[in-house]
Each structure stands twice: as structure tokens, then as C-alpha cells.
Amino acid sequence: MSTLLSETSGTKELQQQDNLHQSHAPCEAPPDAPSPDTLSDLEFSRRTFVKTAGILSAGVASGLPRVAAAEKARVAAATAPQTISLALKINGKQHALTVDTRTTLLDALREYLSLTGTKKGCDHGQCGACTVLVDGRRVNSCLTLAAVAQGSEITTIEGLAHGDELHPVQAAFLEHDGFQCGYCTPGQICSAVALLEECRRGDLSQVSFQTGQTTSPQLSDNEIRERMSGNICRCAAYPNIIAAVRAAAQGARS
């Protein structure tokens, strides 16, 4: 019995050693390791991926110049100058001209019609040097498209005098020395001409409300300053400009 037991335990020991050897056998792969078949599949997938990516990259690279060319053509078409034929009535005369649709009234006057009395100061609607009259209203011609002025009566500084006879506002500016370098003067004079008409109509200004004169406001110096505030004079000839406008207003009333 003891022999049997020892034999049995010996067999168990041998079996355990055997198992131990088996679990450490160097040539056997662990149970969850990929089989050789799976490895070749992986290899194939990697090659396929690299090949496909290469083809795709080549496709994208060869397509890029065409995309860039199409975009260039689109931008060129969008920014190509579009022209428009206009008939502008300026100082009582009709003028036919063909201009870029984006041309301002100021550029149409100066660059296309050689009416250079209207000045370009800031070209941004801030100085009033480019003031002209459109249907009697003063406008900054640098902010007005020429196409928009079609069908209107446009008056520039060249159109105020009648032959040798100056407009009363021009005469007042001369008499009161309402300028120094003269660059802002055409705009100041056009603005003052419109101002007198606005006063005649009874249009109000900020100063009219401040002083409570909301019916037939008197053209005080403060009113003139406020109403001429869109016209800058870099020479600061303001006292004389105000005197000139005041005199023209008095002349218009008498």
C-alpha cells in the first residue's frame, strides 16, 4: 500500500514536472498570440494601407493645381472691372462716360471729366473738401457712386458762377478772405450755398434745439459753425469763413 502510495506520489511529481516543462517550452506560443496566418494578414493589411495612402496622396497632389486654378479663375472673375455707361448732368451740361461701376462721383469729376475744382482730401467722408451739390443737397462726392448720381442735377464749384459774375457766396469768401491755401474752399463754398438754402427752408440743426429756436432759426455764428462742421479747414481760416457765410446770409435776406 505504501509502495503504491509512493508510486502514486512519484507519478504525480513526474506529471507536475512534466507540466512545468510543458508550460515553459520555448517553441510554443502563448495561447493568445496571433497565429502565423494572422501575422501575414496583418502584414498584408499594412502593405495595403501604405499602398492605398500613396495612391490617395498622389491623387490629391495631382488634383491640387486644378483646384488652385479654378479658385484663381473664380477670384479673377469676381474682381474683374465691370464697366457702366453713364449720362451725368453736371453744371447744366450732359456728359456721357463709361466708368468702372465702383467709380465715385469725385473720381468721375476729376479723372474722367477734368473738373478738378472739386478736391480730394481724405477720400473717406471726413473732411468735406469734395462737397458738391446733387439736386441742391450737399454731398461728399468721395462717398457717392457716380452711377447713383445719374439722373440728378450735379453742381460743382465750376458751375456756381454765371460767366464772370461770381455766386454771392464766392464773392463773400473773396471779400472776407475766407481761405488761406484754398484747398478746402470749393467744398466750403458748395457747403455754404446748400446751407443758405437749408436755412431758407427752415431746416433745423443741433444748435437750433439747444437754443430753442425751432421755428425760423436765426443764422447765428454758432448755427453757422454747427452747420459747416462737416467742412474742415486745415489752415484754420474759420473766423473768416464764418464771416463770409454770415455776410452771404445777410445778402440773401436783403
Judging by DSSP bridges, how do beta strands 153-155 and 83-90 pair with one another? Answer: parallel
Pick 125 or 168: Cβ nearer ligand FES? 125
Cell 463709361 sits on residue: 98
Q: Is the Cβ–Cβ distance between 119 and 141 less than 8 Å?
A: no
Pick 66 or 124: Cβ nearer ligand FES? 124
Strand order across the 93-100 sheet = 93-100, 83-90, 153-155, 131-134, 137-140
Least distance (Å) between residue 202 CB and ligand FES: 27
Please report which helix (H) or strand (E) contains residue 53, including its range.
helix 36-79
Residue (of 104, 97, 114) closest to 141 by Cα position:
104
Pick 72 or 234: Cβ nearer ligand FES? 234
Least distance (Å) between residue 134 CB and ligand FES: 14
CA torsion angle for 153, 156, 159, 161 (degrees, to 10)?
Answer: 130
Q: Is the Cβ–Cβ distance between 101 and 83 less than 8 Å?
A: yes
Pick 152 or 185: Cβ nearer ligand FES? 185
Least distance (Å) between residue 133 CB and ligand FES: 14
Least distance (Å) between residue 173 CB and ligand FES: 10
Least distance (Å) between residue 236 CB and ligand FES: 8
Least distance (Å) between residue 64 CB and ligand FES: 45
Pick 158 or 238: Cβ nearer ligand FES? 238
DSSP assignments along 167-236, one per residue: PHHHHHHHHTT--SS-SSHHHHHHHHHHHHHHHHHT---HHHHHHT--SS----HHHHHHHTTTS--TT-
Binding site for ligand FES (CB under 6 A): 120-123, 125-130, 140, 142, 179-185, 233-235, 237
Q: 184 phi and psi, to 5 degrees?
A: -85, -10
Pick 235 or 252: Cβ nearer ligand FES? 235
Least distance (Å) between residue 141 CB and ligand FES: 7
Residue (of 161, 152, 157) closest to 94 by Cα position:
152
Pick 50 or 148: Cβ nearer ligand FES? 148
